[in-house]
Amino acid sequence: MSTKRQLIDSLRNKLRERNADSNYSNQFLYQTMLEQAKWLIKREINSGRIYKNVAFFQTLLCQDVIETSVIDPCCPIKNNCKIYRTKHKIPDFWMDEDGPIIKSITSVDGSTSWDITTPTTWQSIKLDPYQKKSKQMYTFYNDGYFWFPEQNPRKINILGFWTDDVSEKNGCSENPPCVRYLDTTFSLPPWLEAEMLAKSIELLAGVSKRLPEDEQIDKNPTRKS
């Protein structure tokens, strides 16, 4: 997979082929590509190619889980005595129609796993006499956190398809690697890169044509490249 810097440079070079004045900022170009990548991922996930390729998935290690109040405005259920959630918000995932693209959530030693569900489904399971005795554990994703309604796992590992490299957020490492943000990988399957760039160019070319000459983003003297 290419780095963010490599793809930004490719997009900038292709824009210059169409328009000599292409002084968009790196952040602006990255956000443009990111928006195109989101719908490409949703389309591609149905083919199964992403799930079959382990290289796209990365484990976020040793994420602390804490007890929190059920009256927390972000808490997805209100009829529990106690509830637990990840201490910090989880980095962004790529999403499909069902939510975050995740392969597994486990305890650090791998002995326990949690299925991702919704509060409504979980409550239905607990009311079902044929399922409520099951030992399977469940978690919900809401407002950037994972919530655990039954017990505190203390620490968890999350194997997911992230929009960014998560190695620097490894809770088990005292000295995580330090890499410039633009030099981290753009977590997009290589076969989608050309289409993402092409769609980004189409979008930017359309924006430039619609804007009056004195309002064009790429001619804004205050914008830094």
With 60 as the cut, is the pLDDT of residue 209 above it? no
Query: Within a 13 Å sphere around the CA of 78, how many CA atoms are in the beta-carbon half?
Result: 4
Residue with tokens 């790429």: 218
- At 3, which amino acid appears? T
- Contact (CB, 8 A) for 153 and 133: no
The pLDDT value recorded for residue 132 is 65
Burial of 24 (0-12, 13-18, 19+ CB in 10 A): buried
For the chain, the first-to-last Cα distance in angstroms comes to 24
Q: pLDDT tens digits, residue range 148-165?
A: 988 899 999 999 999 988
How many other β-carbons are positioned within 10 Å of the β-carbon of residue 212? 6
The pLDDT value recorded for residue 130 is 76
- Contact (CB, 8 A) for 106 and 113: yes
Task: Taking residues 99-120, report their average pLDDT.
Answer: 92
Q: Which of 59, 57, 46, 51 is nearest to 1 (CA)?
A: 57
- Contact (CB, 8 A) for 80 and 71: no
DSSP code of residue 83: E
Percent of the chain scored above 90 by pLDDT? 45
The pLDDT value recorded for residue 224 is 43
With 70 as the cut, is the pLDDT of residue 220 above it? no
List the beta bridge partners of residue 147: 85, 140
Task: Taking residues 134-146, report their average pLDDT.
Answer: 89
Computed on alpha carbons and rounded to an integer, the radius of gyration of the chain in Å comes to: 21
Q: Which of 107, 110, 126 is nearest to 118 (CA)?
A: 126
How many other β-carbons are positioned within 10 Å of the β-carbon of residue 7? 23
Confidence of residue 15 (pLDDT cuts 50, 70, 90): confident
CA distance 184 to 150: 37
The pLDDT value recorded for residue 191 is 94
**pTM beyond cutoff 0.75:** yes
Task: Taking residues 26-47, report their average pLDDT.
Answer: 92
